[in-house]
DNA sequence: CCTCTTATCTAAATTCTTTTCATAATCTGC
DNA sequence: GCAGATTATGAAAAGAATTTAGATAAGAGG
């Protein structure tokens, strides 16, 4: 766990002096990260040794170590603590969006459960047919992306973003099939119904969604992503970045399940692209 | 510019001693970031003052400042310098993918030109109709995403991922229309032809692509993204994250061009979603 | 009200960092 | 190829910063 999370966690167990130090850290990050132990102590109205002890308490070797940890988290964590700007200047907008995206990835990674993903990857690689479901802009992108990443591995996969089709596919699913569906909100009831139908047909269902949600509860396996959303309605949801990363990880783990087959298929795709373009084989695997 | 970029930039202007220091920094980041000036000097076989001077040369106040800068970049920069693991353990795969994605965002942000994006945003907001073009998995996702972000702002936009349709649309474009096309490789010659056709018809063209590429050259405005690609064929391109961020930024800047209209449209969409679901208006704007 | 524990400080010791100055190496223009 | 200038580097000293050690104060529990 990173240092800021630790500070926020233990905040109520801190002594008076420690609380004062923590407050400065959380409020004036910029100062804290550049301050010497004397300066920090002065500002918190405590003695330097108290600061040293504070660092030790947070599992840091010494003040220097503590500062390194702080600086490391700062890059991704700073904006998360201090709500982002509402500036409409292009440079600020860009910074805000990039930082939020990085934050989303960071928080996702923190909560990520490798074993669960591995189980899903094994399921996918053994599936007779994979159907990727999702609706409404964000999740439909994830469904498409699942298809885009998995077909490259030589798997049989089809994305479907249409409710009616989803229901028909779910009803027609076979026991060896897997239905993987995404819902950022977890409240896509049509997807819940499709999952239920698919399970009745004996197929395996995988949800990419919020934990404690109807969608997650309806599936055999749930890979959950719970991120706070910003409240600026103009800002597109940075959660997409986390979902996209999850798709990448799943695709990658699935590839390793049957490496030989994946390699062959990828080579065929690459060959086709290179032949079709201009012979530069450093090109991307698909535009 | 960040410290690692600065080091890599000036590397050939370094003296012998400085080169030795730089080498340690670039190769053993973990050591460097935790080392005291004495330890670092010892390992580089130079004297501590030389390290201090090295830091100053890189526009740092002192060694402490230098270390902070180093630690800040480390979080995103470390893996970029030291090629990622080839481990297939789920946790390592996840870390590698997340770090690469964060790196992509970081590098993109570094090279990002806010003014150019602003010009494009103005163009988009004034367009009669916007067509988003892209093909081949990655770029088609970007085209879809452009549509998904821009329609919410009350703009007229249509994504098209089909070459033949693209050509017909380009031919039929009007002077007040904008065609925005994505190509990660920059070598999508069909897109180049569509741009040419559209320009002949008097429409404005915008490329999201590599600089120095055929696609970028063919458009009126080019927003370029140049990122190194990893060489693990199983790893999906992390460049997607950068393109996605660019779309977000563009959509956001465009929204601010005509804030009133965008707000109204977004509210309508939200109202529809809330009415359709369960009244929790903290839900995401679209699943 | 006393004792024990915990929190905190002062002062000293230690370690780290920078400055200063001397020397060595390298370059420049003749 | 050499004198003078410039630059690079290190040793030692000075100056900070950090930690340790021991002392004191504050609070909890009997």
The b/e string for B102-111 (b: 16+ C-beta within 10 A; e otherwise) is bbbbbbbbee
Q: Which of B151, B143, B126 is nearest to B183 (CA)?
A: B143
Host H or E run for residue B91: helix B90-111
Mind listing the pLDDT tens digit for each residue in A85-104?
567 788 878 888 887 888 78
Asked if A284 lies within 8 A of B76 by C-beta distance, the reply is no
Mind listing the pLDDT tens digit for each residue in B118-150?
999 999 999 999 999 998 888 999 999 999 999
Look up the CATH superfamily of A110-273: Glucose-6-phosphate isomerase like protein; domain 1 (3.40.50.10490)
Q: Give the dihedral sign, CA A179/A243/A70/B80.
A: positive
Q: Is the pLDDT of residue B258 over 90?
A: no
Quote the minimal CA–CA distance from A90 to chain B in Å.
5
Mind listing the pLDDT tens digit for each residue in B38-47?
889 988 889 8
Q: Is the pLDDT of residue B68 over 50?
A: yes
Mind listing the pLDDT tens digit for each residue in A117-142?
999 999 999 999 999 999 888 899 99
- Confidence bin at B281 (pLDDT 50/70/90): very low
Determine if strand D comes within 7 Å of the CB of A37. Answer: yes
- Confidence bin at B249 (pLDDT 50/70/90): very high
Q: What's the whole-number mean pLDDT along residues B86-95? A: 78
Q: Is the pLDDT of residue A82 over 50?
A: no
User: Could you tell me which CATH number the domain at A3-82 has?
Assistant: 1.10.10.10
Closest in A95, A115, A287 to B138, CB measured: A287
Mind listing the pLDDT tens digit for each residue in B196-226?
999 999 999 999 999 888 999 999 999 999 8
The neighbouring-strand residues paired with A179 are A131, A205
Q: Is the pLDDT of residue A78 over 70?
A: no
Mutate which: A236, A266, A277, vs B, most B CBs within 10 A: A236
Query: Residue ranges of the alpha helices (H) in chain A?
Result: 3-10, 16-27, 29-34, 37-44, 48-57, 63-81, 90-111, 114-126, 138-150, 163-172, 189-200, 214-218, 239-257, 259-276
pLDDT of residue A202: 92
d(CA A41, CA B271): 51
pLDDT of residue A187: 86
Q: Is the pLDDT of residue B268 over 50?
A: yes
User: Mean pLDDT score of chain A, rounded to an integer?
Assistant: 83
Asked if A233 lies within 8 A of B97 by C-beta distance, the reply is no
Q: What's the whole-number mean pLDDT along residues B179-196? A: 91
DSSP conformational letter for A49: H
Tell me how far the alpha carbon of residue A163 is from its chain's centroid: 26
Which chain A residues have a beta carbon less than 8 Å from that of B249?
Answer: 90, 93-94, 97
* Token pair recorded at residue B180: 């925005």
Asked if A93 lies within 8 A of B287 by C-beta distance, the reply is no
For residue B16, which nucleotide's C1' is closest to its Cα?
Answer: D8
Domain boundaries, chain B: 3-82, 110-273
Determine if strand C comes within 7 Å of the CB of B36. Answer: yes
- Of all residues in chain A, the percent with pLDDT exceeding 70 is 83
Asked if B93 lies within 8 A of A249 by C-beta distance, the reply is yes
Q: What's the whole-number mean pLDDT along residues A7-25? A: 82
Nucleotides of C under 7 A from a protein CB: 6-11, 15-20
Mutate which: A76, A101, A133, A225, vs B, most B CBs within 10 A: A101
């Amino acid at each position: 766990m990173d240092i800021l999370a630790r500070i926020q966690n233990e905040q109520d167990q801190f002594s008076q002096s420690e609380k004062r130090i923590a407050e400065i850290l959380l409020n004036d990050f910029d100062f804290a990260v550049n301050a010497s132990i004397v300066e920090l102590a002065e500002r918190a109205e405590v003695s330097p040794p108290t600061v040293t002890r504070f660092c030790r308490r947070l599992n840091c070797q010494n003040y220097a170590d503590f500062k390194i940890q702080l600086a490391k988290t700062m890059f991704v964590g700073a904006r998360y603590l201090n709500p982002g700007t509402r500036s409409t200047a292009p440079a600020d907008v860009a910074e805000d969006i990039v930082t939020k995206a990085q934050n989303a990835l960071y928080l996702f990674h923190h909560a990520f459960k490798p074993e669960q993903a591995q189980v899903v990857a094994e399921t996918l690689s053994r599936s007779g047919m994979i159907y990727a479901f999702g609706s409404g802009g964000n999740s439909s992108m994830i469904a498409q992306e699942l298809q885009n990443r998995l077909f490259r591995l030589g798997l049989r996969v089809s994305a479907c973003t249409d409710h009616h089709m989803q229901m028909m596919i779910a009803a027609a699913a076979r026991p060896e099939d897997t239905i993987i569906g995404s819902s950022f909100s977890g409240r896509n009831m049509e997807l819940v119904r499709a999952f239920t139908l698919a399970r009745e047909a004996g197929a395996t269902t995988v949800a990419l969604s919020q934990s404690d949600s109807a969608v997650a509860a309806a599936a055999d396996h749930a890979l959950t992503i719970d991120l706070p959303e910003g409240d600026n309605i103009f800002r597109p949801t940075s959660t997409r970045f986390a979902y996209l990363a999850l798709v990448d990880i799943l695709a990658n783990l699935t590839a390793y399940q049957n490496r030989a087959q994946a390699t062959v298929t990828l080579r065929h795709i690459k060959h086709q692209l290179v032949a079709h373009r201009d012979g530069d084989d450093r090109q991307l695997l698909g535009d």
